[in-house]
Structure 1
């Protein structure tokens, strides 16, 4: 039997201030605000993990208090001012709640830890009154054996969460906030990022990025999949889990001297064009943009959207991979902009009757985000249909790439009127087949089987996004 209590970590003497919200904060806040209340928790960024051999509770609590001093985003609230403009308020003091479960004797803490994590992740954040972070911990035999971190997406993106976990680990091992801050002296806090964005240099960067986006909007196809009439049904979600893909993706990346992200993007583009019956692919790519050195290690939300357009996406796959990598660099570099300003520009062009590209196919490589749970699985590819979602207007499909220690998963949600379940299956298995075949062109690999135990390839170049 488990017991439960709520601990409060006091926080004081932290940095304070207020200012305009960053582009990332505003974009996510606005997107969540428009969702039905039941859907808002889907935007939370969460991770959970067992701690082996365990950690004394005071060590974890001290590390969490120090983490607040290291990253302003963890004690920042967001609320509109009198003019309706969103502002960020950095609080210098307050309390951080830790939901603590004590596992019963001989009870595996993984079960209570998973249930606590699910509970915390299923709650939306009130960013005007709450700090954007929830902590869960499970103790057994006097040590913390399981920890859960749930953050509002207005505070972090996938890359930010990875940095946060690394910093919490370092603090638990004895590092100080001053030592970690010294390692990343140039990293901007959100208030500093907002100051850059409103500067002349920031406005020039915004204008250039939006200009590049609009140019692609005018060039790419206006529609990939033909529109349908009638009331949209609930959108099914399919998850293909492939133990063979992680190594195969690395092999293809090494062979063509590209990033692993470019390999997955190329396969997605190729299958999009094939199923749409065209030679072109256009994808709205979610980008955790870290090209600016000041944002490389930022624990904040920097994610934006890039428009990726690839002509002749049905060519030989190796060639598609190389051209994808070249095109993706420009897409990623120009994904840092004011998203609300771009939306206003798109609305103006639409009202003027300008033909604009299809933006209904979404790709999001979330592999930097730590896996949320153990992934034992089988050693063969599996395809499951875990859930259905309410219809999402203007969406053809959204495809997420997720990584665990044992497999790479592709999670796809699609409009069944445009991509029925049979087409979704062909799409996901097609991505796997393209990559496995390119990884081992002479091995006769069948999707769903292991690519074997050939020597590991040379290290691929660093990820570009």
Structure 2
């Protein structure tokens, strides 16, 4: 939808308990390195969300809820800069205003308008001096219908946003229980975490994480996805996307049957396809991991996502056994691989040098997929999804070329997200390693490989 109405703006006041200049957390420094690697093409480092506004709310209620969100979550009152010694810092404001866009549209167009605003937010990179939260309100005849908020990945990841969005929904509804749950005195904010990560216990944890990295990278091929020898295309980095109900059905069924994450099924088949290209029995991916395994981390309002190395032996056993093996390797990496990214970079440079380090870390998977429990339409216990059923859905699959973000230190970036109808899988690759036809072909082969893991028929009646 193209928005044709002229916007007007709200100035949302906020104030907080703390302000000042603070160092970054490990998670923030990991994202900082991504920002530096992708600059100026890092528009995909913002996450947008749409929240439906209860009928009882007026514009004043919405403004107050946004003000409370900024006041309680100081990470949204943060911006970023370089200190005089060249190190990144976060600046927390004590008070100020957020400029929120307001668009008035016809009632039937309100949800589509929110989607358009989400896309607009996602397409424009955050600037470092900018507050880490953007907001817009969609109204119909002056009545607020949706709030669109976008957070900078330096400040918040999608896992942290789960509890933030729950709190914001409670604020809109006037629920005091939800409001109390997010009191700044009861949660750990990034400034607090950065202080904790400077202590001796955290330094020891980081050292263990770096040792895990060294052991796991030793299993990687020297070059997990070598250059093919042909001249790269223009543009050099190209992205193709697959929307597939067949992948959704197959991956959710395999996850339910094998007791693994849905992402593990996709990860395992991708590892097989990459290893086949190189003739290696091992595939080495850097996997984006949430690092939220304890109660404090689950509710932590900040970014904890870091990459971890996952070496998968694709030789031997059945595809289902490979999925289980991949799941175990991924879980171990997520538990053991969290560390100080600056210390890790020093060790990798010393062990491999810059060129070999880039080659080993050139293949990345970032699979944010729902697991069967609580997912609408997911197979229930005892349900058998056959290969034939999934193949019937292939007619609905859609492949397309999309504008991608070039990242010169990556040759292969596989990402996935899911909804109630299908899974969206995108592959961005360096065309010096994969020709455009091979990028699209990889997604097609991945879809077929997942379907091939399903049983040919259900149990006999």
> Is the TM value for this pair above 0.5?
yes
Q: 1:113 to 1:258 in 2, by over 3 A?
A: closer
Q: Name which of 99, 103, 112 aligns with 1:101.
A: 103
The alignment partner of 1:158 has SS state of coil
Shift of 1:6: 1.1
Partner of 1:253: 255
Q: How does 1:24-39 map to 2 (within 5 A)?
A: 24-37=27-40, 39=41
Partner of 1:143: 143
Partner of 1:124: 125
The alignment partner of 1:201 has SS state of helix
Q: 1:114 to 1:293 in 2, by over 3 A?
A: closer
Shift of 1:22: 0.7
Measured in 1, the distance between the counterparts of 2:51 and 2:168 equals 13
Partner of 1:420: 435
Q: How does 1:188-207 map to 2 (within 5 A)?
A: 188-207=188-207
Partner of 1:212: 212
The alignment partner of 2:434 has SS state of coil
Measured in 2, the distance between the counterparts of 1:366 and 1:72 equals 26
Segments of structure 2 that go 5 or more residues without pairing to the other structure are: 371-392
Q: How does 1:362-381 map to 2 (within 5 A)?
A: 362-367=364-369, 380-381=395-396
Shift of 1:398: 0.6
Partner of 1:447: none
Say whether the 8 Å CA contact 1:99–1:137 is kept in structure 2: yes
Q: 1:89 to 1:393 in 2, by over 3 A?
A: closer
Say whether the 8 Å CA contact 1:274–1:314 is kept in structure 2: no
Partner of 1:402: 417
Q: 1:443 to 1:433 in 2, by over 3 A?
A: farther
The alignment partner of 2:7 has SS state of strand
Shift of 1:81: 2.2
Measured in 2, the distance between the counterparts of 1:113 and 1:45 equals 14
Measured in 2, the distance between the counterparts of 1:268 and 1:259 equals 15
For residues 326-377 of structure 1, the C-alpha deviation after alignment (integer angstroms, 9 at most, x for no partner) is: 2112110123211122122211222499899722111001237xxxxxxxxx
Comparing 293-302 with 13-22, greater Cα deviation is found at 13-22
Shift of 1:407: 0.9
Measured in 1, the distance between the counterparts of 2:424 and 2:354 equals 41
Partner of 1:67: 69
Measured in 2, the distance between the counterparts of 1:227 and 1:267 equals 21
Segments of structure 1 that go 5 or more residues without pairing to the other structure are: 369-377, 445-465
Shift of 1:228: 4.1
Shift of 1:249: 2.1
Partner of 2:305: 303
Say whether the 8 Å CA contact 1:232–1:391 is kept in structure 2: no
The alignment partner of 1:205 has SS state of helix
The alignment partner of 1:124 has SS state of coil
- Are positions 1:393 and 2:395 aligned together? no
Q: Name which of 4, 9, 23 aligns with 1:6.
A: 9
Q: How does 1:271-350 map to 2 (within 5 A)?
A: 271-313=273-315, 315-350=317-352
Shift of 1:157: 1.4
Q: How does 1:162-177 map to 2 (within 5 A)?
A: 162-176=162-176
Q: 1:358 to 1:54 in 2, by over 3 A?
A: farther
The alignment partner of 1:32 has SS state of helix
**Which protein has the bigger helix share?**
2
The alignment partner of 2:196 has SS state of helix
For residues 87-125 of structure 1, the C-alpha deviation after alignment (integer angstroms, 9 at most, x for no partner) is: 222222111121001125x66224443333333333222
Say whether the 8 Å CA contact 1:14–1:91 is kept in structure 2: no
* Residue-pair matches, total: 433
Shift of 1:221: 1.0
Shift of 1:30: 3.3
Shift of 1:149: 1.5
Q: 1:75 to 1:390 in 2, by over 3 A?
A: closer
**When the two structures are superposed, what TM-score results if normalisation uses the length of structure 2?**
0.85
Say whether the 8 Å CA contact 2:363–2:411 is kept in structure 1: yes
Partner of 2:265: 263
Q: 1:178 to 1:140 in 2, by over 3 A?
A: closer
